[in-house]
Structure 1
Amino acid sequence: MVNAENTKEKLDPKLYILSISKLFKDMGTGILAFLIPLYIVQTHSFFAPGIPDVVKAGIVATVFGFSNAFSQPFSGRLSDRLDKRKSFVIFGLAGFMVVSVLYSHVSMFEHVVLLRAVQGITVGATVPAIVAMVTHFSTSGTRGRAIGIYSSMRGFGYGIGAMIGGIVATYFGFTAGFYLCALLGFISLLLVQLFVGETHNRHEKRRTKDQNNDGASQFHALSFAMFIIMVGIMIIFAFLPEYEVRLQASELSLSIAVSAYVISRVILQTPIGVLSDRYGRKRLILYGLLLNIPVVLGLGYVTRVEELIVLRALQGLCMASVETPVMALAVELAGGASVSSRISSITSAQAAGTAFGPLIGGFLGGYVSFTMPFYVCAAMMAISLLVVMYMVTEPKLTTNASPDA
């Protein structure tokens, strides 16, 4: 159990600057997530002229998720090898800006797919570096709180970005939306460049035999858990048209259901981070996975849109209970060394789950039955719970090392 006194330690102010800077870029990401599926309706395809718009939307979402997941392990290892983080963040933000502008200059679907892949790679380059910087701006006793604050800001930016995207597209058009994304990326870049210093790998002052850099199986277990819970959360996007018919729900009510997950996750992320510092990370991960099993099953049997909203809010709680403790625990297991490469395996799994969730749901739901994907996902969730329970050992020793910048 973590000493409660550690949770009273102050966080490095650079953590707040880094989190706020990321908020602007994630607002841009949320805007693009809303604009791109609508924008591709106006594009034409050279190789498949008759391809349905829903298939186009699925392709661009999957391409972004895969390229994002693919780039993270490479950027994480390179970041650790060079012992640099800030340059990777700057590179990724610059790439995000350039690609956002280029969207307004293409009219072919294949070009949008290519740009989405490039943007996934550049965004992926920033993820391990930023998470490592967050952990460097904290200590063992404040790590969960630090990651919770960062994740809350990120989720808030993404959540309001989708709403901003709808307003901009309605009143100003797609080009204005793409340029706004570039501007938001530039603000993030400027804040990081001017106010956030470089951070470096360090070993915690005190370590136990459990805190070693050779426990690859434990990182694989945490990565698997992160992948599965993201599949369970993203699976719903394949069924939104079906929910609209089954529940006789309006687009507004469905958007509320989708947003309920983001809102509850943003609200709960920091408090759960504090709880993980106080009571331990592994316990909260197991609780989050356990709760998500009946929640995922329930998604296959909702009869009213109000039930869907409640279940999505509970999924926000589940995600907050898993994501923040997983990141904090991964850093503890790494012992403060090779943080970027260790974290990249988990963030990459998270991105892969985002890409695979709608595909798994759509395939099983379309060719087997509506409820089958939810049963499969719940079973995988139970397996991931057992994997974490028996393969992951939480370090018992903590440190009061001061953060370095």
Structure 2
Amino acid sequence: MDPVGRLVRAFRVDQRVLALAFARMADGVGNSFLIIVIPLYVGSEVVSGRTFGLEEAVIIGIILSLYGFLNSSAQPITGRLSDRAGKRKAFILVGLAGLTVTNLAYVFAGSYAQLLVIRGLQGVSVAFIVPTSIALVNELATTRDRGGNMGVYNTFRLIGFGAGPVVAGAVVATGPYTLSLPALETTGALTISGFDAAFYVATVTAAISYLMVTVLVSDPDATKANASDDLAIAVRDPTGDKLLDPVFTLGIATLFLAASIALFATIQPQVNTHLEQGSTWFGLQFAAFVLAQILLQTPVGRASDRFGRRPFIVLGMVLLVPTTVVQGFVLTSEMMFLARLSQGIAGAMVFAPSLALAGDLAGEGESGTKLSVLTMAFGFGIALGPFASGVLISYGFQAPFLFGGLITAIGAGLVYTQVEETLERPARVSVADDD
């Protein structure tokens, strides 16, 4: 059997899902590169120009947050448009093309205003990718294997996202790089700065993703034939049995989950002082959540195909409460690492099953609209968490984590009361089923 066939059989997913997962892993490496590189680049002597009367740290914050704001805000629009067009692949390629071009544009940017425009365009570009790729995974799956498909997709995406920052700083720090090429014998060697090298890496990974999607991914026939006309995002439950629409409820829970895990990001000095530790320990604690996600997304997703979505989502949201609150009270670096790892385990129980449940509820041709509720909510949650912790930390070290525990408890209550199971009976998935 060929290597691709072995991978498809091993992961028990459609070949197109696996190709899309690897493509998102590649562009995830490049995009997460920029999380580390852009603040360094903005603070370097390479960038100059008007600061609009703002401090450099504020400019960095605006550039980074603009990406998340535009990305999250545009996702319902791009998801809905892809539903109306009945196409996913075309939207993903538009986004990857935009990401490739904007990654390269950093090489030529030298002012704060230019960086602001480029990062904003990147946010819009990624908004074309996120809801449509999730929708495509949803449409290539069935009720009995949707959780596993979502888990595999998220696992590889997170591997890419987690790998980028590990090497990004090293790429910048070890530059400049000198290339000796035969064509340059008369003019000397080509020198590339560490920043430019990082931007080239991000460009190449986005281009690789574009090629993979172009060659290996295609829209399912159902998407092309059944794009829905009624694509509004419901807030109230259309059946009248519950107060809130279940997909909207999952969106709120996802918002609270993302905010609770992102509380940690902006209070590194306070965490290090409280635990009397260095930046290395903080990096390990920050990575613990991602590690748990990588290890558990696929098995939890598969388990939700067998035993139902709702039990995992409810249990995960409930476990998020103590695993978030305890971070405000631990006294050692080791205990904080275990707390973050436990929080990651709880989060893994929510992510893939939530996407699978929302996918179960999405009719043919409306996956982009339905699933964009969750992807948008996650983006806004990642932005809300750091803001909340930055404000609340002045009230004491425990305050941000108590806030995180409160909102995750509310999310658990909403899921328990407003979301019903979508699987009528356990669906046993085996390798034989895929033959």
User: What TM-score, normalized by structure 2, do the two folds share?
Assistant: 0.84
Judge conservation of contact 1:263–1:316 (CA < 8 Å) in 2: yes
Q: Which moved more, 1:297-306 or 1:124-133?
A: 297-306
Find 2:343's aligned residue among 285, 302, 315: 315
The alpha carbon displacement at 1:179 in A equals 1.1
Find 1:190's aligned residue among 211, 214, 220: 211
In structure 1, what is the equivalent of residue 145 of structure 2?
142
The alpha carbon displacement at 1:370 in A equals 2.6
For the pair 1:380 / 2:407, whether they are aligned, the reply is: yes
Secondary structure in 1 aligned to 2:128? Answer: helix
The alpha carbon displacement at 1:29 in A equals 1.2
For the pair 1:132 / 2:135, whether they are aligned, the reply is: yes
Find 1:178's aligned residue among 173, 191, 199: 199
In structure 1, what is the equivalent of residue 13 of structure 2?
11
Secondary structure in 2 aligned to 1:236? Answer: coil
In structure 2, what is the equivalent of residue 360 of structure 1?
388
Q: Which moved more, 1:297-306 or 1:85-94?
A: 297-306
How far apart, CA to CA, are the structure 1 residues paired with 2:74 and 2:283? 31
How far apart, CA to CA, are the structure 2 residues paired with 1:249 and 1:371? 18
Mark the CA change 1:233 to 1:45 in structure 2 (over 3 Å): closer, same or farther.
farther
How far apart, CA to CA, are the structure 1 residues paired with 2:295 and 2:259? 22
How far apart, CA to CA, are the structure 2 residues paired with 1:30 and 1:126? 15
**Cα-to-partner distance string for 1:189-214 (whole Å, 9 max, x where unaligned):** 001001111234388xxxxxxxxx95
Judge conservation of contact 1:62–1:356 (CA < 8 Å) in 2: no
Secondary structure in 1 aligned to 2:171? Answer: helix
More relative contact order, 1 or 2 (CA 8 Å, 6+ apart): 1
Secondary structure in 2 aligned to 1:140? Answer: coil
In structure 1, what is the equivalent of residue 159 of structure 2?
156
In structure 2, what is the equivalent of residue 277 of structure 1?
305
**Cα-to-partner distance string for 1:306-328 (whole Å, 9 max, x where unaligned):** 11211111122122111100000
1:226 counterpart letter in structure 2: T
The alpha carbon displacement at 1:343 in A equals 0.4
In structure 1, what is the equivalent of residue 55 of structure 2?
51
* 1:390-401 map, 5 Å: 390-397=417-424
**Cα-to-partner distance string for 1:216-240 (whole Å, 9 max, x where unaligned):** 7211100000000000001101111
In structure 2, what is the equivalent of residue 29 of structure 1?
31
How far apart, CA to CA, are the structure 2 residues paired with 1:9 and 1:110? 45
In structure 2, what is the equivalent of residue 347 of structure 1?
375
How far apart, CA to CA, are the structure 1 residues paired with 2:256 and 2:60? 22
In structure 2, what is the equivalent of residue 302 of structure 1?
330
The alpha carbon displacement at 1:105 in A equals 1.9
Judge conservation of contact 1:80–1:341 (CA < 8 Å) in 2: yes
Q: Which moved more, 1:146-155 or 1:389-398?
A: 389-398
In structure 2, what is the equivalent of residue 245 of structure 1?
273
**Cα-to-partner distance string for 1:339-391 (whole Å, 9 max, x where unaligned):** 0110011100001111111011101213x333222212211111111111111
How far apart, CA to CA, are the structure 2 residues paired with 1:365 and 1:76? 36
How far apart, CA to CA, are the structure 2 residues paired with 1:44 and 1:188? 32
The alpha carbon displacement at 1:111 in A equals 2.6
The alpha carbon displacement at 1:19 in A equals 0.8
Judge conservation of contact 2:83–2:369 (CA < 8 Å) in 1: yes
The alpha carbon displacement at 1:34 in A equals 1.3
How far apart, CA to CA, are the structure 2 residues paired with 1:221 and 1:129? 21
Judge conservation of contact 2:65–2:383 (CA < 8 Å) in 1: yes
Computing the radius of gyration over CA atoms, which structure comes out larger, 1 or 2?
2
Secondary structure in 1 aligned to 2:372? Answer: helix
Judge conservation of contact 2:312–2:353 (CA < 8 Å) in 1: yes
Judge conservation of contact 2:43–2:56 (CA < 8 Å) in 1: no
Q: Which moved more, 1:139-148 or 1:254-263?
A: 254-263
2:36 counterpart letter in structure 1: F
How far apart, CA to CA, are the structure 2 residues paired with 1:334 and 1:128? 13
Q: Where in structure 1 are there 5+ consecutive unaligned residues? A: 1-7, 204-212
How far apart, CA to CA, are the structure 1 residues paired with 2:366 and 2:409? 30
Find 2:79's aligned residue among 73, 76, 79: 76
**Cα-to-partner distance string for 1:250-279 (whole Å, 9 max, x where unaligned):** 211111111111111101110100111111
For the pair 1:39 / 2:66, whether they are aligned, the reply is: no
What's the % identity of the aligned pairs? 30
Q: What is the RMSD of the two structures over their aligned residues, measured on CA atoms?
A: 2.2
Structure 1 residue ranges (4+ consecutive) displaced by more than 6 angstroms after TM superposition = none
How many pairs were matched up?
384
In structure 2, what is the equivalent of residue 207 of structure 1?
none
Secondary structure in 2 aligned to 1:370? Answer: coil
Mark the CA change 1:78 to 1:45 in structure 2 (over 3 Å): closer, same or farther.
same
In structure 2, what is the equivalent of residue 370 of structure 1?
397
How far apart, CA to CA, are the structure 2 residues paired with 1:336 and 1:144? 18
Q: Where in structure 2 are there 5+ consecutive unaligned residues? A: 1-9, 176-193, 227-236
Judge conservation of contact 1:15–1:134 (CA < 8 Å) in 2: yes
Mark the CA change 1:222 to 1:45 in structure 2 (over 3 Å): closer, same or farther.
farther
The alpha carbon displacement at 1:182 in A equals 0.5
How far apart, CA to CA, are the structure 2 residues paired with 1:295 and 1:61? 28
Secondary structure in 1 aligned to 2:422? Answer: coil
User: What TM-score, normalized by structure 1, do the two folds share?
Assistant: 0.90
In structure 1, what is the equivalent of residue 230 of structure 2?
none
How far apart, CA to CA, are the structure 1 residues paired with 2:422 and 2:118? 42
The alpha carbon displacement at 1:121 in A equals 1.1
